[in-house]
A = this chain, B = another copy of it.
Amino acid sequence: MENFVYHNPTQLIFGRGQLAQLEEKARLLGPTVLLVYGGGSIKRTGLYDKVIFLLQSAGCRVHELPGVEPNPRLSTVNKGIELCRQEGVNWILAVGGGSVIDAAKAVAIGVPYEGDVWDFYTRKAVAQEALPLGTVLTLAATGSEMNRGSVITNWETQEKHGAGTTFPAFSILDPEHTFSVPRDQTIYGISDILSHVFEQYFTHTAEIPLQTRFAESIMKTVIENAERVLTNPEDYDARANILYCGTMALNGTLPVGVTTDWATHSIEHAVSAIYDIPHGGGLAIIFPKWMRYVYRENVARFVRFATEVWNVDPAGKTDDEIALEGIAATEAFFARIGAPTRLADYGITDEHLQLMAEKATPFGPIGQFKTLTSDDVAQILRLSL
């Protein structure tokens, strides 16, 4: 185990009807709030009206930043920053999925910063201050509700980068708010959660038995609940289990004392910076190909993955065979739940392959499990076509 510092001050408020706690939170955080949301699904479901009612009951003036995109854009973030400054906003409430929360985080750190908020994403600056942020999560996927991460796309430069920003002060997670998530978004969320665990599970760090078992616990729980939520989108317990897994997959619990990878996320960001495909869809395509490309760096880890997570029977097989069977089981799972399996499913050809490979490695080689140059990335992308 390596040295680590763990600190996560987000208050997680989980369960049926927990939205009611928003009113008291709003009273404490100040009279002027920026409400950040996406394409309007929260208006269709009635969540928007409930949130507005609670904010107004708390005496808040509500300004709005609607229309946050699935890959949230810097231009939208800048609009939010300007609005906050004009209106003297005290705090921000994000209602939606990871994209909405990521955009809200960018606004929160952008407001007190004198320079360009994109500086944080290009590693020119580190966030020191932020407006307080609360979230009401409507999608099990990114874990953004309980971490400092934020991923923003700059369309002018066709770049998609992540940065450490600010923890939400609180996040309200009601599994019922995810009942209406469409089938494809549910699938992408599941792929995203599993991918987060993969990034932190495939490591060379030794002596991390608890971290390893926690990661396997999340993967098994997601896998056994995935088909339940797809069969019955209003299965409260299955939605709750997936939602809780999504948070635990990326709230800092898994990587303590572990060298993590994150190459596949960089590759996917490069793809969706050019093609604007869903993040979870891209990950479902690329991750198994990454696995095939790198597994020989630590076959034992992939053998454990195969036997513990996918119940591969090791009897009479070589380690290589067991490892590959685990990877095949991963692919089969993604196919079974209806995730895309090839870039061709999104009409992506090899046209911009080299460009994507370059964009995936803007600061040099990526990954820790196996260090990948842009040539390696190009090969993984080719396997993914």
Contact = CB atoms under 8 A, between A and B. Distances in A.
Interface of A: 1-18, 206-207, 209-210, 213-214, 216-218, 220-221, 224-225, 237, 240-241, 244-245, 248, 253, 256-257
B1 A7 contact: no
A16 to B, nearest CB: 6
Contact of A8 (B8, B14, B220): B8
A14 B207 CA distance: 14
B2 A7 contact: no
A74 B238 CA distance: 47
Contact of A15 (B2, B207, B225): B2
Contacts of A224: 209
Nearest to A209: B221
A256 B207 contact: no
A146 to B, nearest CB: 9
B12 A7 contact: yes
A256 B13 CA distance: 10
Given A210-B245, A213-B216, 10 more contacts: A3-B15, A5-B13, A14-B256, A206-B237, A209-B224, A210-B218, A216-B217, A217-B217, A244-B256, A244-B257
Nearest to A10: B7
User: How many identical subunits does the complex contain?
Assistant: 2
30 contacts: A1-B241, A3-B16, A4-B12, A5-B12, A5-B13, A6-B14, A7-B9, A7-B10, A7-B11, A7-B12, A8-B8, A9-B9, A15-B257, A207-B237, A207-B241, A209-B220, A209-B221, A209-B224, A209-B225, A209-B241, A210-B221, A210-B241, A210-B245, A210-B248, A213-B216, A214-B217, A217-B217, A244-B256, A244-B257, A253-B253
Interface of A is mostly: mixed
A302 to B, nearest CB: 20
Contact of A14 (B14, B17, B206, B257): B257
B2 A11 contact: no
Nearest to A169: B7
A221 B210 CA distance: 6
A190 to B, nearest CB: 14
A189 to B, nearest CB: 16
A256 B18 CA distance: 14
B8 A4 contact: no
A15 B9 CA distance: 21
Contacts of A8: 8
A207 B256 CA distance: 27
Contacts of A244: 1, 210, 256-257
A210 B245 CA distance: 7
A53 to B, nearest CB: 21
A186 to B, nearest CB: 18
A1 B239 CA distance: 11
Nearest to A172: B5
Contacts of A209: 220-221, 224-225, 241
B257 A207 contact: no
A347 B97 CA distance: 60
A250 to B, nearest CB: 14
Nearest to A220: B213
